[in-house]
Amino acid sequence: MAGRPPTPLAVTFREDHVAPWDRFFGLASIGYAARLRCLDALTEVAHRWGRHVVLHYDLVLGGP
């Protein structure tokens, strides 16, 4: 592939590039933990009232 630039062998990370990724992974792990805590309750609501109720009221995101 003649038009493709070479891939760098070593990538240097600067602090200003690391901070946003730390924030992203922190938020992602918090959201994942919250969903695990609520999964049983959301599953029960979906079985009793239907998935459309869970989606309509955004219960996965914490409700209205």
- pLDDT by residue (tens digit) across 11-62? 565 666 778 888 888 888 887 887 788 888 889 999 999 999 988 988 877 6
Q: Taken in order 16, 18, 19, 23, is the CA torsion positive or negative?
A: positive
Residue 60: its pLDDT value, please?
A: 75
Does pLDDT of 9 surpass 80? Answer: no
Kindly report the pTM of this predicted structure.
Answer: 0.44
Q: Which of 58, 62, 64 is nearest to 37 (CA)?
A: 62
Q: How many CB atoms lie within 10 A of CB 60?
A: 14
pLDDT of residue 3: 67
Number of C-beta neighbours around residue 54 at 10 A = 16
